[in-house]
Structure 1
Amino acid sequence: MNVLENNLGFHLRKVEMEASKRFGYVQEFEFTPGGEYRSYLDELEVIFFLQENHVDVMLEVDRRARGLGGLFAEALEIDESRAKLTLTSQELNGPLDTVARKLKQTINQYKK
């Protein structure tokens, strides 16, 4: 989480417990974008799933409405995309830049 705030410019807005059909309850972290993402995204929701040798990170990227098509997408709630990435123990114990780069690459796929 520190990487999202310190390296990528996101700001933690709130943390909630959400019901999940597959996992029971999960803790969801909701971030507002800052820096380069401010004009592209409305919010970023993140859920972490701790495994023995890695962490699965589920992202829900909510794009900012741009133009008429963006307004329709937002109204129909199709402006959100989900992505998953895995961070290995080696990556998590290494330089934070490695984790930041991997998160940034994933988020940038939806920065349109």
Structure 2
Amino acid sequence: MGFLKKMMAAIGVGNASVDAQVHHNAVRVGGQVTGVVVIRGGAIEQRIERINLGLATRYKTDDSYMTHQLSKEQVVPGFTLRPGEVREFPFSIAVPLNTPLSLPGTQVWLATDADIAGAVDPGDQDHLQILPSSEAETLIAAAQRLGFTLSGSEVEYHHGQIVQELAFRPPYGQYKIAEIEMMMFPSRGGLDVILEVDRRATGMASFFVSEFEQKGRWHLGAQTLAGGPDAVARELEVRIRALM
């Protein structure tokens, strides 16, 4: 009977279960995901080698989507789990600064990776709502103060890191552009911003050029951010018009 139970556990039947229970699903970039890992013993005694937690997302490639592990750390050390035993381990892991915001088409989840001797991985996934840092929230609010509307986002992989591009549509008739796109990178207490202006040609020019884009990089410092969305909106508008 013992041999049969071990064989069944190896294919996931009667195996230990691992459940990462998050205290709050909504977390800010740069904050902490807290909760408790609940481990329940199965039909046989098993050795828990380690349990890792981390954040993961997906990014777009030319023809598909790829899963990317944003972070990973051990939260439960090795121990022996008796049949039917229940153990709980509190955890707190950081939300990396490059974690994409939760917007339509973008998913971020807490990935549980369990290493249990002689068994399949019983890990699970818990989806999170990622909110912007205070700096990014101020910049987004500044764009909205100028009348821009957030129209979409896309997560990509560039130069060894995950980046998220936010697209905004301008208010009707105020800017001769189709949209602006921004990528934000935390830097020295502020933000490094790549601003891209997408302008479609109008009139006779449209026969020769359908659209073109111009990009600018600028550092949004802590002093300007301290002035709130109004101060950032003034600088943002200058940057947009310089690229038009």
Normalising to structure 2: TM-score of the pair?
Answer: 0.40
**1:90-109 alignment to 2 at 5 Å?**
90-109=223-242
Structure 2: tracts of 5 or more residues without a match: 1-139
Alpha-carbon separation, structure 1, partners of 2:226 and 2:165: 23
CA distance in 2, matches of 1:60, 1:71: 23
Deviation at 1:66, TM superposition (A): 1.3
Q: Say whether the 8 Å CA contact 1:56–1:84 is kept in structure 2.
A: yes
Give the 3 Å change call, closer, same or farther, for CA 65–32 of structure 1 in structure 2: same
After superposition, the C-alpha distances for 1:49-84 in whole angstroms (9 at most, x for unaligned) are 11132211111100122123244222xx5x100011
**Structure 1 residues 84 and 2, CA, compared in 2 at 3 Å: closer, same or farther?**
same
- Calculate percent identity across the aligned residue pairs: 37
Q: Which has the higher strand share?
A: 2
SS at match of 2:196: strand
- Asked if the contact 1:63–1:110 (Cα under 8 Å) also holds between the matched residues in 2, the reply is no
For 2:213 and 2:208, the matched residues in 1 are separated by 12
Following superposition, the deviation at residue 47 of structure 1 comes to 0.4
1:24 corresponding residue in structure 2: 161
Q: Residue 153 of structure 2 aligns to which amino acid in structure 1? A: V
Note the aligned Cα RMSD (angstroms).
1.7
Measured after TM superposition, the shift of residue 4 of structure 1 is 0.3
CA shift, 1:23, in A, is 4.7
Cα 1:110–1:51 change in 2 (3 A) is closer
Q: How many Å separate the matches in 2 of 1:54 and 1:91?
A: 9
**Counterpart of 2:178 in 1: which secondary structure?**
strand
1:1-112 correspondence to structure 2 within 5 Å: 1-5=140-144, 7-20=145-158, 22-35=159-172, 36-37=174-175, 40-74=176-210, 79-111=212-244
Q: Is the 8 A contact 2:216 2:243 kept in 1?
A: no
**How far has the Cα of 1:98 moved from its partner?**
1.8
The alignment of Structure 1 onto Structure 2 pairs a total of residues equal to: 104
Q: Which portions of structure 1, spanning 4 or more consecutive aligned residues, are displaced by more than 3 angstroms? A: none
Equivalent AA in structure 2 for residue 18 of structure 1: E
1:53 & 1:83 partners in 2: Cα distance?
A: 20
AA paired with 1:66?
T
Shift of 1:43: 1.1
SS at match of 1:109: helix
